[in-house]
Amino acid sequence: MQFVRAPDENVYIPPFNLVEMVVIALVGWWMPKERFEHLNDIVMAVFYSPVLLIAAYAETRTAKEIQRNRSNGEEDDDVVEEWEQMAGE
């Protein structure tokens, strides 16, 4: 089970897999393969680019916070979580 792969190269995560089914049902059967692959790439870029931008923004903020903590000689994650505070009670 280590190398289980999807049957195609373009894997849509839920709920975008519903869009994949609609796109394949509407144009996949009559469109030339090269053109369909290009359309599939465009659809994936439109759907995934906002998610990737949000992830990149969050990772950049975290990296800057870690860099700031390291420059001050503190731990990388110098935030005390609520569950850590309750552990001492």
Name every residue whose Cβ is closer than 8 Å to that of residue 36 and which is 6 or more positions away in sequence: 27, 28
Does residue 51 lie within any of the structural domains?
yes
CA distance 44 to 48: 6
Query: Could you report how far apart the first and last alpha carbons of the chain are, in Å?
Result: 43
Residue 4 inside a domain? The answer is no
Question: Does this model's pTM top 0.85?
Answer: no
Q: What is the number of residues in the chain?
A: 89
pLDDT truncated to tens, each residue of the chain (89 aa)?
566 666 677 788 888 888 888 877 788 888 998 998 898 899 889 989 999 999 999 999 999 988 998 888 888 776 677 777 776 66
Residue 1 domain flag = no
Q: Is residue 79 part of a domain?
A: no
Domain containing residue 57? 16-70
In a domain, 55, yes or no: yes
Q: Residues near 76 by Cβ (< 8 Å), separated by ≥ 6?
A: 66, 69, 70
Is 48 a domain residue?
A: yes
Tally of domains in the chain = 1
